[in-house]
Amino acid sequence: MDIAELSTKILSSDRRALARAITLVESGRADHRAQATELLDLLARHKRQALRIGLSGTPGVGKSTFIESFGLMLTAQGLRVAVLAVDPSSARSGGSILGDKTRMERLSRDPNAFIRPSPSQTNLGGVARRSREAVALCEAAGYDVVLIETVGVGQSETVVSEISDLFLLLLAPAGGDELQGVKRGIMEIADVILVNKADGELKSAASRTCADYSGALRLLRKRPQDPAGFPKALMVSALEDQGLSIAWDELQQLDAWRREHGHWQQRRAEQAQYWFHEELRQAVLSQLSTAEAQSEINQLALQVASGEVSSVKAAGLALARLNITTG
């Protein structure tokens, strides 16, 4: 693969080249990783940036419908939108459905939109391991907004905050968990909470749910990266395209404030450090996956099972070959 040529095509907004590049960075082969690193280094020199918006919510809340309606509204304004959707992988077979293009049929046909579903594989936190690199590729391809949709599990999906500039949490009205708003975790990283399906018979329930979460947000500790009034809860109807423009205005207002006060730059720097440590951690773990290391680990595991050695001591012996000490 000619990396220089692929880089040129991505910079010229070639969608096919972008898809090939994302496949490359998601590959676990050593030669592909070397090529992916070279490609990302080439593209990073151009310093293109997009507004990164993370989005999470429980299954059935209408994430795909919201993203399609929201994306179409943005493309109608002349913006180019990339959607990186992460689908859960089966713990038994390892497979994923990857059906987001089917669920976002209208948006997938929009020439100013790009949709890429990826499997979560064994990665926790709601995103795929290489989602951050996929975001960087979309930025290099000239997309103005990158939407990162998590797998949709719920309270544990906080890793997406290490990829995005803004984080949206989608909730359904009358879901029975209004009092969960005072809980920590995902509520603490949400910048805007959107109560979806605020239409028809559910409109009054959505209003109550929105009020409940507005009250819950006021109980949380004030964050330095938020202007007055944020984080906030809003009502939207992705089905009827209601409230989407208001939500977009609020997001733009928050993004502009953070850029003006230096929080945006600081957060990007903190995220870069986070992913450096994450890559380091993954590199160490990969050393434990070699055939030689696995042979030693399996022998030690048998000794632990028979009671010959404690699990703590066995872990120290396994890591000794990597010159890593346990704490």
Judged by average pLDDT, the poorest of 71-80, 114-123, 274-283 is: 114-123
pTM: 0.86
Judged by average pLDDT, the poorest of 17-21, 122-126, 228-232 is: 122-126
Q: Please write down the HEC assignment for all residues of the chain.
A: CCHHHHHHHHHCCCHHHHHHHHHHHHCCCHHHHHHHHHHHHHHHCCCCCCEEEEEEECCCCCHHHHHHHHHHHHHHCCCCEEEEEEECCCCCCCCCCCCHHHHCHHHHCCCCEEEEEEECCCCCCCCCCCHHHHHHHHHHCCCCEEEEECCCCCCCCCHHHHCCCEEEEEECCCCCCHHHHHCCCHHHHCCEEEECCCCHHHHHHHHHHHHHHHHHHHHCCCCCCCCCCCCEEEECECCCCECHHHHHHHHHHHHHHHHHCCHHHHHHHHHHHHHHHHHHHHHHHHHCCCHHHHHHHHHHHHHHHHCCCCHHHHHHHHHHCCCCCCC
- What pLDDT is stored for residue 97 in this prediction? 45
Region 11-22: what's the mean pLDDT?
A: 96
- CA distances to 21, 213, 217 from 195, rounded to whole Å, are 35, 9, 14
pLDDT at 279 over 80: yes
Average pLDDT in the chain = 86
Digit-coded pLDDT (tens) for 147-196: 998 866 554 557 788 899 999 999 888 765 544 544 556 778 899 999 99
The closest of 33, 41, 117, 94 to 286, measured between CA atoms, is 33
- What pLDDT is stored for residue 217 in this prediction? 87
Digit-coded pLDDT (tens) for 247-259: 999 999 999 999 9
Digit-coded pLDDT (tens) for 30-68: 899 999 999 999 999 999 999 999 998 877 888 999 999
- What pLDDT is stored for residue 184 in this prediction? 56
Domains in the chain, please, with CATH?
1-45 (1.20.5.170), 48-261 (3.40.50.300), 277-322 (no CATH)
